């Protein structure tokens, strides 16, 4: 069995943003040489997310509005966690959107359903974050 590890780095200028990372994951899969197996992609920071969905700007805007209603950024005083970084809302948004995805690898390709893409969700940006890609298989 083969094992391959790659790390993506992000330092996004906005506090919140969604980035389609499918091309980078596909490149890592090519580099791995794995034809049949599994690909794990996970955010390595507690205020960021990795998820699968459609790459459609209206949907992303809807996510932003929905997440802000669920866990509004302000007022900061509404959260017991806030004080040093004022990012309690980012922790909650990450919990809702998820930490990682696992995608089957079939015949050297990510085995997606219709319209599926992999996204990095940033909820407390303006600093360096990492995403792990771990691929295992044959």
Residue 127 phi/psi, 5° resolution?
-160, 165
The pLDDT of residue 67: 98
- Over residues 15-57, the pLDDT tens digits come to 999 999 999 999 999 999 999 999 999 999 999 999 999 999 9
Q: Which domain holds residue 97?
A: 2-137
The pLDDT of residue 85: 86
The pLDDT of residue 84: 79
- The CATH number that applies at residue 51 is 2.60.120.460
The pLDDT of residue 119: 98
In this structure, what is the dihedral angle of CA atoms 120, 126, 127, 131, given to the nearest 10 degrees? 0
Rounded mean pLDDT, 114-118:
98
- Over residues 66-103, the pLDDT tens digits come to 999 999 999 999 999 987 789 999 999 999 999 999 99
- Over residues 5-16, the pLDDT tens digits come to 999 999 999 999
The pLDDT of residue 22: 98
DSSP 78-106: G-SS-SSS--HHHHHHHHHH-SEEEEEEE
The pLDDT of residue 82: 87
The pLDDT of residue 83: 79
The pLDDT of residue 100: 98
Question: How many domains does the chain divide into?
Answer: 1
The pLDDT of residue 70: 98
Q: For residues 39 and 29, is the Cβ–Cβ distance under 8 A?
A: yes
């Amino acid at each position: 069995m083969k094992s391959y590890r790659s790390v993506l780095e992000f330092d996004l200028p906005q506090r919140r943003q969604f980035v389609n990372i499918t091309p980078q994951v596909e490149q890592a899969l090519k580099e791995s040489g794995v034809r049949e197996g599994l690909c794990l992609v996970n955010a390595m920071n507690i205020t960021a997310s990795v998820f699968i969905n459609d790459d459609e700007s209206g949907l992303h805007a809807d996510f932003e509005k929905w997440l802000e209603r669920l866990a509004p950024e302000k007022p900061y005083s509404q959260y017991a966690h806030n004080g040093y970084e004022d990012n309690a809302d980012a922790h909650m948004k990450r919990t809702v959107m998820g930490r990682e995805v696992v995608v089957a690898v079939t015949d050297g390709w990510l085995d997606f359903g219709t319209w599926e893409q992999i996204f990095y969700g940033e909820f407390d940006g303006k600093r360096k974050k990492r995403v792990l890609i771990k691929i295992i298989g044959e």
